[in-house]
Amino acid sequence: MSRFVKFLVLLLVTLLIVSCKSSPLSSVSVSPEKVLHGQVIDVLDGDTVKLRSDWHIYKIRLAGIDAPEKQQAYGVQSKIYLEHLIADKDVSIKVLSCDQYGRYVGKIYLNGKDINGEMIRSGYAWHYYHFDSNPVYAGFMLDAQRANRGLWQEAHPTPPWIFRKGRN
């Protein structure tokens, strides 16, 4: 590949990243078929990771889920479980959008397995039904509740969106 073509590819990728980081969610247009492939280099919490793909580092927010905050019950366990699933592993991410914090929002797949769904199914995240109407995720959450898995071992776990309101 010529230097000029490499330069153009790098320029286009940079522009995409900058547009994601500087745009509010409502004005971001992310191609629904955009897929990133790379290695998870850091798990920040139970619903956010850093991905190295080609020459770039991306912050990815897992779509459709909301994990406990680190200061909440099961917050640390949620992070540890996600690390167990995907830390230092090669994954694919179907990018769905970009959020107000400049993160890509997407579904993470490891060897075809839906990691977002696994976080809910195992009881380490809520289905974030305010932003996602996936009936499969709703079923995973109900099953986790009934089986008292993960955070559902608590009598009345506080959803992260309620916890965050209490801190502000």
Catalytic residue among 3, 52, 69, 121: 69
Q: What is the mean pLDDT of the chain?
A: 87
- Can you give the pLDDT at residue 106? 97
pLDDT-based confidence at 134, cuts 50/70/90? Answer: very high
Q: Quick one: which of 108, 8, 128, 5 has its CA closest to 58?
A: 108
pLDDT digits (tens, 9 = 90+) for 36-87: 999 999 999 999 999 999 989 999 999 999 999 999 999 999 999 999 999 9
Which backbone phi and psi does 56 adopt, to 5 degrees? -125, 155
- Catalytic residue from among 3, 33, 52, 61: 61
103 is an active site residue: yes
Closest CA to 47 of 149, 151, 167, 148: 151
Give residue-wise pLDDT tens across range 11-34: 444 545 544 553 333 334 455 569
Closest CA relative to residue 44, chosen from 18, 74, 75, 73: 75
The catalytic residue among 3, 52, 83, 103 is 103
Tell me the whole-structure pTM to 2 decimals. 0.81
